[in-house]
Amino acid sequence: MIQSSRHRLGFTKLRKTAALWCVVFMLILVITPALAQTRTYPDKIRGYKVERTVVEMKKPEGQSNVNDSDVDSLIKLGDPKVARMTPLGITFEVPIVVAPVKQSGHVDFLVFEEMVINGRSVDIDEYQHEFELPNKKPATLNSPLRIFIYLPSALLAVLGESAESKETWPVTGRVYVFGKFKKSIFSFKRVVPVELNMTMRNPLQ
């Protein structure tokens, strides 16, 4: 009888321990991606104060709330096309799509950082075209983004795409949106960091 009670107590402890480890494992699964997405930005860049929450995204249809991470949907890159091919490299033109926001805002310029397209690091010049943030629906900017890939990288890209024939390319990086954004009756000079994690159509197919 005593041995049976000890057996039951041991089984109960084992069950509690297993349940505890399950809870810990689930917490790790939830917390780890959140920590990975957490990024520290400088207080100021070129005299503009850094603030992600200065932009309030418009709620998509059927969505009840918008959180800070939705700021990353402010800037998207459209489907690229080959604009020019020379012995020195390939130039792509990529449309820039801006999502609608609740308040008014005037963007002075865009700066791209740590851009990786199809697994290759790409340097992108600053986008020096001013524009107003849309309020009703997404807007495609008049001037597309121009991305130049030097010959060695371009050659590797062509050879790689011939072998792999990927339909889409993964794109990651960061866009700093410099401008003046309105909150209530006040206008603030701010820079909004936007984290890119998306795919674009393969322009070499």
- Please write the tens of the pLDDT for every residue from 38-63: 678 999 999 999 999 888 888 766 55
pLDDT for 23 equals: 41
Q: Which residue has the higher pLDDT, 110 or 4?
A: 110
Task: Say if residues 148 and 91 touch (Cβ distance below 8 Å).
Answer: yes
Q: Do residues 138 and 115 both lie within one domain?
A: yes
Counting Cα atoms < 13 Å in the Cβ hemisphere of 111 gives 10
**Percentage, residues of the chain above pLDDT 90:** 45
pLDDT for 30 equals: 43
93 burial via Cβ count (<10 Å: 0-12, 13-18, 19+): middle
Range of the domain at 80: 44-201
pTM of the model: 0.74
What is the CATH number for 137?
A: 2.60.40
Q: Do residues 32 and 130 both lie within one domain?
A: no
Digit-coded pLDDT (tens) for 81-107? 999 888 788 899 999 999 999 988 999
Q: Do residues 26 and 56 both lie within one domain?
A: no
Q: What is the tally of structural domains in the chain?
A: 2
Distance CA 177, CA 54 (A): 11
pLDDT for 63 equals: 56
Q: Do residues 23 and 103 both lie within one domain?
A: no
pLDDT for 25 equals: 40
pLDDT for 64 equals: 54
